[in-house]
Chain A
């Protein structure tokens, strides 16, 4: 496709007249794939030199649990991104699950409240999926609307107060140690094994990549495109609730701000790890590396004693750089 604009300056030149060399394409592609693991190693080395406190066992434990929570949520977000969608309601769902379990814990048995939380999450995921596939609402808008609705519902329900004690079982699956490792990491590992198997070895996994790669072709190939998307959204919401339960087990109480950053961070982690916005490309190893990078950076802000608002700037910077890199990579690869 040729640009038809007669004049072109740096400011206005349309990139369609831009001819990348094969080498540039190759380098950008490699950078997109390996940026997260390489950055993680670099950060670990830098931490060893400048902030040895980081390797303190207590701190490693904290990092491990934070990594597990974000890791669980990011698996769901990756699935949703793989089918060319996005879920901005994960943070609200995450907090909602904790609220449900803590509030109902007083009255009913733990199993019942856990089932309630999972059912609510599945319902939210289903509604998200339906709005996006059957009503044709852009994913950003549908899940953003859901975010506001859930936050409103939670505020109306809790009146904005911090609440409750967290059931012992949740404390157990979060901060108990199994040998050396916090239990949260084991939950994360189980989730990852299940979904790596699902994505690599099952028909559903192939469908997810196919739908993200080309929805129209998938439809002609007889794949139930709408249902694959709805399933991805449902899984994402359920994993968000699971993340919320582990997180509340770690923190020990449920407050208004619980989990507010998880939208941003789960998307950033997946994108940093090489998942494309355009769907159909990315994997859970990359996402795990992205999660590790984000959690390490956020923790280093604390360990190095920098003002806490650096965390915001750090999150934003990682997201912008990763999005820019991946966007450029997809643009080059698609030519």
Chain B
């Protein structure tokens, strides 16, 4: 697999070289932020509602759920896998925590322990995914697909109706604002920054890229491949748990429809953001772009009052074009 080695060394070389190489290497990132500016710019000119500060801060707040899930998905996709169970993990966490709140008469003192418990549940589910995949050498896509179905059954067993009894203090996670900007938006910005640091500066973050590029070379470079893979799925579960907890505070009830369809959106956001679905290439900055693009698009669609069914069709169309425009490693090699 000399090819992958070439790619790896090329990426090392270009990070220290000229502007053109930088632009070419990050072409997808420039493209996606260009698209965002284009769409947002057009919407700002033509729509009075879009340019209001409250709408803008609303978009940022709406992007948080997709953002958290897309970060988790990025970690897994960088290793060359995919996590289909991400929406069901978020839902399980939301429903379990809601049930516990209801059980203990929505005691506000329990908020912190229950948030911690939710995170533990997510991490544990992610760990199960990771261990199943690394221990049995099975296909990650299918394993997480199966786990998603199991969790769907479990979630239906927990409740099929919205669970009430979330303490009102918990809802502040969604509501608290400084001036016009919600606190959670600021926290989310910090999370994005930390994740960027993680994937660019921390050894484990770099190991995700190495494993995605070539597990064999990663192993020969003394990277613990299986441990790295398990970590990727644990991180995915962790961020899914955060997303579930956030949805809970947004809805105010334990919603059995939590995060429906979000797995697909998270994959789209990651792929549109330029992370290679073969693993090993791409940047978390691109994922942020993908998340913002999808959120802005949905906001614009809603402002234009596009029929929900046509929205589905448009989303499918965008995805199909993105897929058709996809560049395989093979074409990259020869070009």
Binding site for B on A (CB under 8 A): 1, 3-6, 11-16, 86, 131, 135-138, 140-142, 144-146, 148-153, 155-156, 159-160, 264, 267-268, 271, 277, 307, 309-320, 323-328, 330-331
Interface positions of B (Cβ within 8 A of A)? 82, 132, 134-139, 141-143, 145-154, 156-157, 216, 219-222, 224-227, 230, 264, 267, 271, 277-278, 309-310, 312-317, 319-320, 322-324, 326-331
* Interchain CB contact under 8 A, A14 and B138: no
Kindly state the separation between the CA atoms of A325 and B136 in the bound complex, as whole angstroms: 7
A83 vs chain B, min Cβ distance (A): 15
Grouping DSSP codes into helix (H, G, I), strand (E, B) and loop, the A interface class, with mixed when no group exceeds half, is: helix
Give the 4 A-B residue pairs with the shortest CB-CB distance, closest first: A136-B328, A327-B138, A316-B149, A313-B153
In the complex formed, the residue of B with least CB distance to A158 is B309
Closest to A6 in B: B222
Q: Give chain B's interface secondary structure class.
A: helix
The residue in B149, B220, B312 that gathers the most chain A C-beta atoms within 10 A of its C-beta is: B149
Q: Pick the contact of B313 from A137, A153, A271, A327 — CB < 8 Å?
A: A153
A136-B137 in contact (CB<8A):
no
Question: A11 and B152 in contact (CB under 8 A), knowing A136-B330, A326-B138?
Answer: no
Name the contact of B154 in the complex, choosing from A313, A328, A330 (C-beta under 8 A).
A313
Judging by beta carbons under 8 Å apart, are A152 and B219 in contact?
no
Contacts of A15 in B (CB 8 A): 134-135, 137, 226
Given A5, A136, A316, A320, which contacts B222 in the complex, CB threshold below 8 Å?
A5
Contacts of A309 in B (CB 8 A): 152-153, 156-157
CB-CB under 8 A from A326, the residues of chain B are: 138
Q: B297 CB to closest chain A CB, in angstroms? A: 14
The residue in chain A whose Cβ has the minimal distance to the Cβ of B158 is A309
Nearest chain A CB to B227 CB, angstrom units = 4
Q: List 15 A-B contacts (CB under 8 A).
A: A5-B224, A11-B227, A12-B224, A12-B226, A14-B226, A135-B324, A144-B267, A145-B323, A148-B315, A148-B319, A309-B156, A309-B157, A316-B151, A328-B138, A331-B137
Contacts of B224 in A (CB 8 A): 5, 12, 14
Whole-angstrom distance from the CB of B259 to the nearest CB of chain A? 16
B313 touches A142 (CB 8 A): no
Closest B residue, CB atoms, query A141: B277
Which A residue sits closest to B223, measured CB to CB?
A5
Closest beta carbon of chain A to B224's beta carbon, Å: 5
A328–B143 Cα distance when bound, in Å, is 13
